[in-house]
Structure 1
């Protein structure tokens, strides 16, 4: 029988050694799956030979925010331009007060406008009433003047029909201006006869008044 060579012997030994390592590795893996996970011990991490150690968990440290200034100012770490709650509330209160003041002013202006409108209506009504009264008064005055003129003309015609001596006595009792008004309504002949039968002084005063009226009428 032929003896095996050295290379064959080495190959067999290497294969046997490798097979043993494979078996040991598989057995260790099976035991690892069957074992429960180890719990960490107070700040220490349990590590196995085949696993890398876990990194320690950082401990969070709670920090309280820096208190704001006692006067209601901003915190030191506040962003530039930011306002505090107290400043915001004060600003909102000022805006609300300004809005209320504007509302009160608008209400006062509206009230005054209503009062002015009512006053304007009363003035317009009063003006219309006064205008109506004025027109009525003018109509009455015109009617009275017309009636008076008609009465004067009618009386003048009556004095013309009277005897000059009797009419002269009546005209002597009249005021010269009143007598002049009647004489101007008569024809010249009748007026001359009545003046001739009047007292000299009364006839002169009446003639002056008539001349003055004619001069005013003929003046350019």
Structure 2
């Protein structure tokens, strides 16, 4: 059964609360399922017409976190459904026609598209380095709490992740990146060689290693 805009926004208000009843989570699942056809069509177009390999985004916890951080209404969110595409570098990320080209004969909105049935689907486009950094951030958040992804948490870990992010950005921009970022947020940690090949290898290693470490 489709929900009215008022019902959707009231659900969003309840999802902002610290404690949420199971019935509201089920209703959120029902609402998200309304986007399934649009999401499947966007993924099909990305595969067949653009040659990408999209992966679906897990959205439930992200939706709740966004509602709690921002004043947005659930009925106006464009990332209820979404998929991710990983490309080699910023050149591929910003290639002519991507992501500005019409997808599913819909209207592009930033990195979101409106499918023919009127549902919006987010397309998240990351470079390989950005994706590795984001995976690492997720793993750190798994250890220290979800709020880490949104700017909270231990200052030393935040400074380390920000340093990694700045290095990724510098490499993607093709700028000379000064050495100095540490492999771990520890005083005696070795430094990482700031070029694409070595940085990719290091981030890959950290993504594999971090789940095995104690908090």
Q: Tell me the TM-score range normalised by the shorter chain.
A: under 0.3
Please say which structure displays the higher CA radius of gyration: 1
More helix by share: 1
More strand by share: 2
Considering Cα pairs closer than 8 Å and 6+ residues apart, tell me whether 1 or 2 has the greater RCO: 2
